[in-house]
Structure 1
């Protein structure tokens, strides 16, 4: 399970990879690798994301795979 610091570090890595992959010095292969890494990191953090529903106290939505599940 990720804590807030782990999530922050992961988002910082995604930002850095996106910047490097978008630079003019990268070829198509480098960009493909950068996008693949970003996808892997996003999948890691998506599995831990919980969205609080403000209008329904005590109810949460959890991202699971490709769909939202209400808890």
Structure 2
């Protein structure tokens, strides 16, 4: 079982299909529209609490399997 981390949506653009999460520790993490576990969880709001798993993307760590907290 993978470790889930907690964070807050910094911003997310549905038009661009990406945004960033402010994690509890470390630098901000990239989040892609395909990173959400649920297809119904679209267009998260700034300040929304989420949980996620760290994954390695093309430019380093990013958030994956994101879900509402």
TM-score (norm 2): 0.24
Larger Cα-atom Rg: 1
Select the structure with the greater relative contact order (CA < 8 A; seq sep ≥ 6): 2
Looking at secondary structure, tell me which structure has more strand per residue. Answer: 2
Looking at secondary structure, tell me which structure has more helix per residue. Answer: 1
TM-score (norm 1): 0.24
